[in-house]
Every structure is written in structure tokens, then in C-alpha cells.
């Protein structure tokens, strides 16, 4: 294909077709990003939400409207179907800030759907009426069919983008903006206006517990947990939900985990209505304290959310931080309030000008001067000239429109004109003008007062729902049920959850979970860490197996075949890569482990030495506590200059009571404290 011409050989006109696709795709991409999926930074709304709110404003008469009627009216502005409008309206209403509901709008906790649009009603909330609309500050454009006017953005006086949150998938980008608390947002605006530092964290309608350690100003990651209570040891209740989850989704995840054997439950019931209440009953032998960790580890009672603050600013998509968005919205609020004050000042001045003109016209009886004038143009000129001496008392010069308004005053009104009442009204207007001018001199103070007024009026309705805590990652292995019996059959050399230990004296067996990792130590000093599997071959020389635990101490005596001398050493659970072989001492055909027992303290052993006629003793008592814990690869300390014939354990119960497997001559099988019966 030629880059310059866009032509493909063998396909006539293909270059034109390709350019057509490219152009249309770019147009489509820009449309989806700006007109459907990504909200605007100024009012925090997507186009469909803005059209719904503007329609509700147009229809507003203080009473509830059928949602079906609202959807139908919104379709005059929205070029897409009624179902997209209905879904957006229900979603916006369930946020509870802007749309007041009447009827079944579904349940955000359970995920239940709303009733049909013909059965439910809605109207604007007082907060929406007070903070969203002002025709004097709103730029309108033609709707998609040119029959109506729709707003480009609403002059919102709240940081709506952060208050409502948003999710959307466009072409090549997506947004996931977290909702924030009403009170905290407004207090942060006040802090910004006072040039103080502020920090904002999300607040979710379902409540729950959030860990914001990795939250990065609208990006990063948030870990969210359900609030779990255990009224008794056999019952767990879910009282609050993690972000983005419903009770049905959580119940499904719990039942799925129970089927996979991750946890055990007797029953689960959802009693959620106005508040979340999911009750979990536990079976015999299972208790709430241990099950709570499993719920966080294996179900959607804990989820991670990755926010992405992508928005439209100046008609272009961009990515910002929460602090930047709040500052932008606060600067816009200050500018809009100043515009409103200046518009109000102009109206008050015009009103006072009209009242003074009327007062002068009637009090000075200027209407008498036109009684004998018959020409309309002369009448206008006479009235205008008669007002010239009073110019200093007026706000501005007299215009032809002013004169025409004076001439429209009826005789009946002139005869009943109350001069004192008119003067009192003028004084009231003058007081209002002084107040507005004073506010214009301190716009920051006026803006702070406005925000404080909103807080005083609405703050109690919107308390924080999510509580912030820093919690540790649940260890899934520790929380998993130990429901697997792993066996080692020495004769066949197989190990796994489907292998049974037939001979308790020779074979090994332990109980673990499917998430545990097994440490295998062989007689020749080789060790390996493996996952729990159904069945795999490891050979017949396995000496010890157990579940990998942090900082477990091993006490070992081994024979170095090259020197024919025995060494003692202690080490902790070694670092490892799964399924990789490591050695505790150099490989040699005569090198072997003579004693192995885990234990941090109190481990003792007796080493029997090869008899010598000159020796005063033929055995040694070894206290492992006297030896330092070193690396698994360390050589250790020599037991004796003489050959160690065998080593016997001096700790714990007799060997028969420990069910320990027999070993080759010269070995003493250890007590596997991490694996009963091993």
C-alpha cells in the first residue's frame, strides 16, 4: 500500500474507501468520547445526564412527573433511544443528590431493577434547583434536530464530577471516577479558597471499609471490604458493601467459594431492604472468627478498584488529579458567583432607575406638561426635556424606552400613588445595591459564605458512609481450609492428595490446604518446595515433608561423606523457587542426614560414636539451643573428631508414640511437628 496515495494494488478505489473509513472512524471516536462516555469537568455530567436535568428543569412545577413523560421529553434533546435515557435517569436518581424519587427505582444494594417508567415518578431536588441552573450563565445550542435549545454545560455550583463519580468506556480510553463525600468536598473548597492544604478520599454509597494507602489523587488503587459482624460464633452478618458490589454478587461469590471448598457455610440469606443485611450461618465445627478471613480472601467481600480520572476539559479528553479538578470547579464557582452578582447589580440599578423616574414623574406632576400637546413625538420630547433637571437623581440618562414606560402609567395608578411607599422601596433597593457592591469587593469571602450556607442547609443529609482503615492483605494460605490429606507412598515413590499412606511406619501423611506449599527434604540433603497436587513422583528417599511456614527452625545433623565426619547446624525456612532443587550440603554418595527435627528451642539429641578403647565416652549429648541459626547452605559445626554411628532424639515422646517412619541404619526419623503422622 502506498502511504502517500492510500491505494492498494488490485483493489480499485480502495484508497478512497480506506480514507472514508479513517475519517468516519475518527469522527465516531470523537463523538463517543465527547458525547457519550466521558463526563465534562465543568458540570461533571455526560450529555444524556445534562439533557435529563435540563428537561426536568423545563418541566418543573414543584410536583412529581411520570418518568415515562420525562424520558419522552428528553428524547427531544437526545438522539438515542428511550432505554438509554431511562437507565441514565434511574442511575442519576439513585445517587440521591439531584433527582427526588417516588416509586420503585430499584435497589443499589441488591442490584434489583427499577419498575417500568410508567409506574414511577421523579422531580428535581431542592439542591439541584439551587445549584445547577441559571439561564443568564448558560450557553445554549441547537438540539440534534434544530427544534429546541440544549445547554452546552450547566453552571453547576457544586463539584459534580467528584460528587457523583462516573464510569464510561469510549474508543481507546475509559474513565472510572470515584464518588466523594458532599461535606468533605465543600470543606475542601473552603480550604482551597483560604489557601490551606486539603486531601480528598472517595466515599461509596454502599459504605464498607476502604484502604486508601495506594490511592493517588483519583488514580492508583483502592482496596474495599464489606463490613462484617459476628453477633455470635456461628453467625456472620454483612452490614455494608464494598464498592461496585451488590448483595447478589457477593452471595454468588460466597456460594462459589463454598463449592470449591475454600470455606464452609450452612446457609446464606439476604434480608436487605433499606439497609444491607446478609446473614451467613456456619456449620458444626466452623466458627465466625476463622471464616471472616476466608471471606475476605476467597470472595468478593474484598475487592480492589483501580480508578482512572479521565474527563473532558476544553472539549478534549485528559487525565487529571482530584485536587486539580476541585480547584478548577472552585475557580469556576467563584467566577459564576461574580457574574451573578454583576447581573443582579445591573437589575437592581435598572429597578431603582425606573422607580425614581416614576416618583419624579408623578411627584413633580410632569404629566401635566403634556395635557395640551397633541403630537406624539412632541409628547416624548416634552417628557424627556422635563426630566433633564433631575438627571443627578437618576442612575443613568433617560432613554426613549424610559419615556414610553412613563406614558403607559394609567391615571388610576397616578391617583392612588403612594409617595412614601415608593421612597421606602427605593431605600430598600439602595440597601441591596450596597450589599451587592460590598460582596463584589470580597469575592473570596462571599464564595466561602455561599459554600458555608450550602453546608448548613444540606450537610446533615449526606454523612460519610465509607470508613477509612488501613488493613493488611489477608494471607489466603492461612485462611484456606485444611481439607486435603497429602500422602507419600514410599514403595511407589508417589506423593499427592490422591495418594494414601498404606504403611504408617514407612509412609508419610499430613493435612493441608490446596494453597499450601510443601517443603520436601530428602536423605541425601536435597530439598525442594512444591505445590499441592493430586499425584507426582518424587522417589523413595524422602525423609521429611511439611507445610512451608515463615521462620520455622530446622535442627539437623548430617554426615559429610568426603570427610566421614558429622556436622550439626540450625537454619530457618530457606528461600526458594518452586520446583527447583537445592542442597543442604555438598552432594556425595556417602553424605546423608542422620538427624532432622524442626523446633525453635528445646531440641536435644544423642550422638553415638564408633567405640574406641582409649575414649572415656562413646556418646555425646547435643543441645541445639547452643548453636547459632545460620544459612541452610552453611557447613555447620563438627560434632566430634570420631565417626558418628547413629543419632537418637532426646526430645518429645518416645519414637513409637510419634508414629515416626523408620529409616535406614544410622538414621533417626524426626518428629514432624508441622505434619501430624509424618
Q: Which residues pair with 225 in a beta bridge?
A: 209, 302
Express each pLDDT in 628-646 by its tens digit. Answer: 999 998 999 999 888 898 8
For residue 84, the model assigns a pLDDT of 92
CA–CA separation, 67 vs 59, rounded Å?
12
Q: Map out the domains of the chain with their CATH numbers.
A: 38-156 (3.90.199.10), 222-305 (3.30.1360.40), 332-461 (1.10.268.10), 482-649 (2.120.10.90)
Residue 143 neighbours by CB distance under 10 Å: 15
465, 510, 462, 444: which is closest to 483 by C-alpha?
A: 510
Helix (H, G, I), strand (E, B) or coil at 583: strand
46-50 contacts, C-beta under 8 A, 24 or more apart: 46/88, 46/166, 46/168, 47/78, 48/74, 48/78, 48/80, 48/84, 48/85, 48/88, 49/88, 49/92, 50/150, 50/151, 50/153, 50/154
Cite the beta strand spans of 278-382 per DSSP E. Answer: 278-281, 302-305, 310-313, 316-319
Distances (CA, A) of 677 to 480, 488, 622, 671: 21, 11, 25, 8
Question: pLDDT band at 614, cuts 50/70/90?
Answer: confident
Lowest-pLDDT range of 34-43, 372-381, 508-517:
508-517
Question: Are the C-beta atoms of 488 and 521 separated by less than 8 Å?
Answer: no
DSSP 624: G
Express each pLDDT in 100-151 by its tens digit. Answer: 999 999 999 999 999 999 999 999 999 999 999 999 999 999 999 999 999 9
Distance, first Cα to last Cα, the chain:
70
Grid cell at residue 139: 450557553
pLDDT at 570 over 90: yes
CA–CA separation, 203 vs 189, rounded Å?
17
Question: pLDDT band at 297, cuts 50/70/90?
Answer: confident
For residue 676, the model assigns a pLDDT of 32
Residues 6+ apart with CB under 8 A from 542: 488, 490, 495, 508, 520, 521, 522, 523
Question: pLDDT band at 369, cuts 50/70/90?
Answer: confident
Chain centroid to CA 368: 76
For residue 474, the model assigns a pLDDT of 65
141-149 contacts, C-beta under 8 A, 24 or more apart: 143/76, 143/77, 144/77, 144/78, 144/79, 147/76, 148/76, 148/77
Grid cell at residue 38: 466521558
Active site includes 567?
A: no
For residue 475, the model assigns a pLDDT of 60
Chain centroid to CA 296: 16
Measured in residues, the chain has a length of 678
Residue range 595-612: mean pLDDT, rounded: 89
Residue range 569-596: mean pLDDT, rounded: 90
- Cβ burial 399-418 (10 Å sphere, 16+ → b, else e): eeebbeebeeeeeeeeeeee
51, 489, 490, 476: which is closest to 263 by C-alpha?
A: 476
DSSP 316: E
For residue 436, the model assigns a pLDDT of 95
Phi, psi at 622, each rounded to 5°: -110, 120
Percent of the chain clearing pLDDT 70 (strictly above): 92
Q: What is the pTM (predicted TM-score) of this model?
A: 0.74
Express each pLDDT in 51-81 by its tens digit. Answer: 999 999 999 999 999 999 999 999 999 988 8
For residue 658, the model assigns a pLDDT of 34
Question: Are the C-beta atoms of 368 and 413 separated by less than 8 Å?
Answer: no
Sign of CA dihedral 613, 616, 622, 625: negative
Angle between helix 376-386 and helix 400-407 axes, rounded to 10 deg = 100
Q: Which residues pair with 317 in a beta bridge?
A: 312
Question: Are the C-beta atoms of 530 and 547 separated by less than 8 Å?
Answer: no
Catalytic member of 28, 119, 144, 271: 119
Lowest-pLDDT range of 12-26, 434-448, 530-544:
12-26
CA–CA separation, 156 vs 178, rounded Å?
19
Question: Are the C-beta atoms of 104 and 120 separated by less than 8 Å?
Answer: yes
Higher pLDDT, 648 or 19: 648
* Average pLDDT along the chain: 87
Question: Are the C-beta atoms of 33 and 92 separated by less than 8 Å?
Answer: no
Helix (H, G, I), strand (E, B) or coil at 557: strand
Residue range 245-255: mean pLDDT, rounded: 94
DSSP string spanning 19-71? Answer: HHHHHHHHHHHHHHIIIIIS-BTTT---HHHHHHHHHHHHH-SSS-EEHHHHH
pLDDT at 7 over 60: no
Lowest-pLDDT range of 498-507, 520-529, 637-646:
498-507
- Cβ burial 368-380 (10 Å sphere, 16+ → b, else e): eebeeeeeeeeeb
pLDDT at 220 over 50: yes
For residue 375, the model assigns a pLDDT of 87
Question: Are the C-beta atoms of 71 and 85 separated by less than 8 Å?
Answer: yes
Grid cell at residue 516: 499450601
DSSP 364: T
pLDDT at 11 over 80: no
Amino acid at each position: 500500500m502506498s502511504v502517500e496515495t492510500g491505494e492498494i494494488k488490485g483493489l480499485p478505489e480502495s484508497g478512497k474507501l480506506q480514507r472514508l473509513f479513517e475519517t468516519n472512524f475518527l469522527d465516531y471516536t470523537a463523538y463517543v468520547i465527547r458525547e457519550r462516555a466521558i463526563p465534562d469537568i465543568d458540570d461533571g455530567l455526560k450529555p444524556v445526564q445534562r439533557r435529563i436535568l435540563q428537561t426536568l428543569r423545563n418541566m418543573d412545577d414543584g410536583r412529581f412527573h411520570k418518568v415515562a413523560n420525562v424520558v419522552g421529553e428528553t428524547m427531544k434533546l437526545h438522539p438515542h433511544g428511550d432505554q438509554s435515557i431511562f437507565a441514565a435517569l434511574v442511575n442519576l436518581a439513585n445517587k440521591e443528590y439531584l433527582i427526588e424519587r417516588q416509586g420503585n427505582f430499584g435497589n443499589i444494594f441488591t442490584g434489583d431493577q427499577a419498575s417500568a417508567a410508567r409506574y414511577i415518578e421523579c422531580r428535581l431536588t431542592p439542591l439541584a434547583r439551587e445549584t445547577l441552573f441559571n439561564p443568564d450563565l448558560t450557553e445554549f445550542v441547537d438540539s440534534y434536530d434544530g427544534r429546541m435549545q440544549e445547554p452546552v454545560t450547566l453552571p453547576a455550583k457544586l463539584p459534580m464530577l467528584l460528587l457523583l463519580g462516573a464510569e464510561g468506556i469510549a474508543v481507546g480510553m475509559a474513565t472510572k471516577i470515584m464518588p466523594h463525600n458532599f461535606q468533605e468536598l465543600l470543606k475542601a473548597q473552603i480550604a482551597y479558597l483560604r489557601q490551606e492544604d486539603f486531601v480528598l478520599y472517595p466515599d461509596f454509597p454502599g459504605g464498607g471499609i476502604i484502604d486508601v494507602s495506594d490511592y493517588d489523587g483519583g488514580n492508583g488503587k483502592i482496596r474495599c471490604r464489606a463490613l462484617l459482624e459476628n453477633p455470635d460464633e456461628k453467625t456472620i452478618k454483612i452490614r455494608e458493601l464494598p464498592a461496585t458490589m451488590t448483595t447478589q454478587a457477593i452471595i454468588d461469590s460466597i456460594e462459589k467459594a463454598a463449592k470449591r471448598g475454600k470455606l464452609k457455610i450452612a446457609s446464606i440469606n439476604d434480608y436487605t431492604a433499606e439497609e444491607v443485611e446478609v446473614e451467613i450461618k456456619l456449620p458444626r465445627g466452623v466458627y465466625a472468627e476463622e471464616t471472616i478471613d476466608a471471606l475476605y480472601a476467597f470472595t468478593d467481600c474484598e475487592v480492589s478498584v483501580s480508578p482512572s480520572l479521565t474527563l473532558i476539559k476544553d472539549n478534549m479528553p485528559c487525565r487529571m488529579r482530584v485536587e486539580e479538578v476541585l480547584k478548577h470547579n472552585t475557580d469556576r464557582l467563584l467566577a459564576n458567583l461574580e457574574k451573578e452578582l454583576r447581573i443582579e447589580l445591573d437589575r437592581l440599578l435598572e429597578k431603582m432607575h425606573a422607580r425614581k423616574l416614576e416618583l419624579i414623574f408623578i411627584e413633580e406632576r410632569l404629566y401635566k406638561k403634556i395635557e395640551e400637546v397633541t403630537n406624539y413625538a412632541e409628547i416624548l420630547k416634552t417628557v424627556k426635556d422635563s426630566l433633564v433637571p433631575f438627571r443627578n437623581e437618576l442612575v443613568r440618562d433617560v432613554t426613549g424606552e424610559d419615556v414610553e414606560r412613563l406614558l403607559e402609567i394609567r391615571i388610576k395608578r397616578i391617583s392612588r400613588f403612594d409617595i412614601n411607599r415608593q421612597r421606602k422601596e427605593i431605600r430598600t433597593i439602595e440597601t441591596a445595591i450596597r450589599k451587592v457592591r460590598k460582596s463584589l469587593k470580597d469575592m473570596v469571602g462571599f464564595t466561602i459564605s455561599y459554600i458555608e450556607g450550602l453546608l448548613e442547609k444540606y450537610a446533615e443529609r449526606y454523612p460519610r458512609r465509607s470508613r477509612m482503615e488501613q488493613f493488611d492483605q489477608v494471607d489466603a494460605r492461612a485462611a484456606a481450609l485444611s481439607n486435603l490429606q497429602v500422602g507419600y507412598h514410599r514403595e511407589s515413590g508417589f506423593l499427592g492428595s490422591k495418594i494414601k499412606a498404606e504403611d504408617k511406619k514407612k509412609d508419610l501423611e499430613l493435612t493441608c490446604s490446596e494453597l499450601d506449599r510443601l517443603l520436601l527434604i530428602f536423605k541425601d540433603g536435597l530439598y525442594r518446595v512444591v505445590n499441592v497436587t493430586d499425584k507426582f513422583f518424587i522417589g523413595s528417599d524422602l525423609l521429611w515433608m511439611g507445610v512451608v511456614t515463615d521462620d520455622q527452625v530446622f535442627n539437623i545433623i548430617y554426615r559429610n561423606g568426603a570427610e566421614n565426619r558429622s556436622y550439626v547446624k540450625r537454619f530457618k525456612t530457606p528461600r526458594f523457587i518452586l520446583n527447583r532443587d537445592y542442597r543442604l550440603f555438598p552432594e556425595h554418595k556417602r553424605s546423608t542426614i542422620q538427624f532432622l527435627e524442626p523446633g525453635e528451642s528445646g531440641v536435644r539429641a544423642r550422638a553415638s560414636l564408633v567405640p574406641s578403647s582409649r575414649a572415656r565416652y562413646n556418646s555425646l549429648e547435643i543441645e541445639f539451643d547452643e548453636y547459632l541459626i545460620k544459612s541452610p547452605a552453611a557447613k555447620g559445626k563438627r560434632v566430634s573428631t570420631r565417626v558418628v554411628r547413629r543419632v537418637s532424639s532426646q526430645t518429645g515422646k518416645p519414637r513409637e508414640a510419634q508414629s515416626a517412619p523408620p529409616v535406614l541404619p544410622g538414621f533417626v526419623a524426626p518428629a514432624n511437628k508441622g505434619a501430624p503422622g509424618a
